[in-house]
Amino acid sequence: MKFGLFGINMNVCSDPDVAARTAKAAEGAGFESVWTGEHVVLPDPQAPPSPLPPEYPLLDPAVALAFVAAHTTKIRLGTGIIILPQRNPLVLAKELASVDVVSNGRLIFGLGIGYLKAEFDALGIPFDSKGARSMEYLQAMQAVWTQEQPAYQGKFVSFSKIQAKPQPVQKPHPPVVIGGHTPEAFRRAVQYANGWYGFALDPTKTAECLAGLKKAAQEVTRSTALGELEISITPGPTLDLDTAKRYADLGVHRLIPFPRAKTEQIVQDFLKQSADTLVGRI
């Protein structure tokens, strides 16, 4: 079982000094990865389904991970997730390739299609066709990352006769993780991604999602080049060894706990406790 830490760009870790110390501590504690979250803007006042109050601080994922990369040497750097249809795919491809280069190949590209219409409205981005646009954007980004003469022709994005160097260090490109708990998200993950990410799921809900992924695998074609679908889960706020073993027994490859800490000390205590009781024991 691999362990990641969620929230390296938010709340207390929106302070860059805290983020650097936290990433170093996570690396020292044996954590495999640190992960960002994303909302470019938050509705004010907060209203369902917005998950966070409007004053909640979140650094941009690419900026935060590039900063953390400079303070660590081996821990992987995951976006968990970037809301892909809100981004220009060529600009995002440049940003994430840059993170992979400055980190010497440590990026994990996690993406989702978003669900806050108020966020899309504020950004002037259509809320419809999010899934189809996202998969075109992903394919366009991969073209920029892998092709000698990058070109892509689609409904939502088209280009040719361009270059965007440097390409990522990881070949053919950084691993792709797709998040979401719907049948459509499961099919996207099976068809296009190296991994799937489920957020805030207990073992029972995780089992339900894994059943959904199994069903999706019967409905869409998965390229053998993608390898086994790696399962990552952010569990509930409480995680002990027995619970972690339940996730492992279900087939989860990576747990990415979110300590939801209000102080740096709580985060540091969480990392130490995890190192003593969880990491390397499953």
Amino acid present at 153: Q
Q: Which residue has the tokens 């990881």?
A: 170
For residue 279, give every residue at least 6 positions away whose Cβ sits within 8 Å of its Cβ, in sequence order, or none: 3, 29, 30, 31
Of 177, 211, 191, 213, residue with least CA distance to 36: 177
pLDDT at position 201, please? 97
Give the residues of the chain that fall short of pLDDT 50.
Answer: none
Phi, psi of 141 (to 5 degrees): -60, -40
Of 197, 249, 186, 263, residue with least CA distance to 219: 186
Q: What is the pTM of this model?
A: 0.98
End-to-end CA separation in angstroms for the chain: 6
Q: Give the angle subtended at the CA of 38 by the CAs of 170 and 209, to the nearest 5°.
A: 80
C-alpha dihedral over 261, 270, 2, 38, to 10 degrees?
A: 10
Q: Which pLDDT tens digit goes with each residue over 118-153?
A: 999 999 999 999 999 999 999 999 999 999 999 999
pLDDT at position 77, please? 99
Contact (Cβ atoms closer than 8 angstroms) between residue 160 and residue 61: no
Q: Which pLDDT tens digit goes with each residue over 75-103?
A: 999 999 999 999 999 999 999 999 999 99
